[in-house]
Amino acid sequence: MRRFISLVVVAVVASSCAQSVNVEQEKSALLARDAEWSSVASDVPKWGTFLSADATFAMAGMPPMKGSQAIIAGVTPMAKAPGFKVSWKASSAEVSSSGDIGYTNGTYELSVNNAAGKPAVEKGTYITTWKKLNGVWQVTHDMGAPEAPANPSSPMVVTPVAAIKWMDAPPFLPKGAKLAVLVGDPSQPAPFTVRLQMPDGYKIAPHTHPTDEHVTVISGTFRAAMGEKWDDKALGDFAPGSYANMAAGMAHYAAAKGATVVQVHGVGPFVVNYINPADDPSKK
CATH of the domain at 25: 3.10.450.50
Residue 255: beta bridge partners? 203, 223
Q: 275 pLDDT band (50/70/90 cuts)?
A: very high
> Is the domain of 135 the same as that of 9?
yes
> Is the domain of 9 the same as that of 131?
yes
Three-state DSSP state, 25: helix
Task: Report whether pLDDT(248) > 50.
Answer: yes
* pLDDT for the residue 5: 47
- Which of 122, 146, 170 is a domain's end point? 146
C-beta separation of 184 from 268 below 8 A:
yes
User: Has residue 91 been placed in a domain?
Assistant: yes
Q: Beta strand 213-226 with 252-267: parallel, antiparallel or unpaired?
A: antiparallel
C-alpha span between 66 and 57 (Å, rounded): 6
For 131-150, the pLDDT digits (tens) are 999 999 999 999 998 886 54
Q: 35 pLDDT band (50/70/90 cuts)?
A: very high
Mean pLDDT of the chain: 87
- Which of 94, 114, 146 is a domain's end point? 146
Task: Report whether pLDDT(112) > 90.
Answer: no
User: Has residue 153 been placed in a domain?
Assistant: no
Range of the domain at 228: 161-283
Task: Report whether pLDDT(255) > 90.
Answer: yes
For 53-101, the pLDDT digits (tens) are 999 998 765 668 899 998 998 788 778 777 788 999 999 999 999 999 9
> Is the domain of 6 the same as that of 135?
yes
As for how many domains the chain has, the answer is 2
Q: Tell me which H or E stretch contains 79.
A: helix 68-79
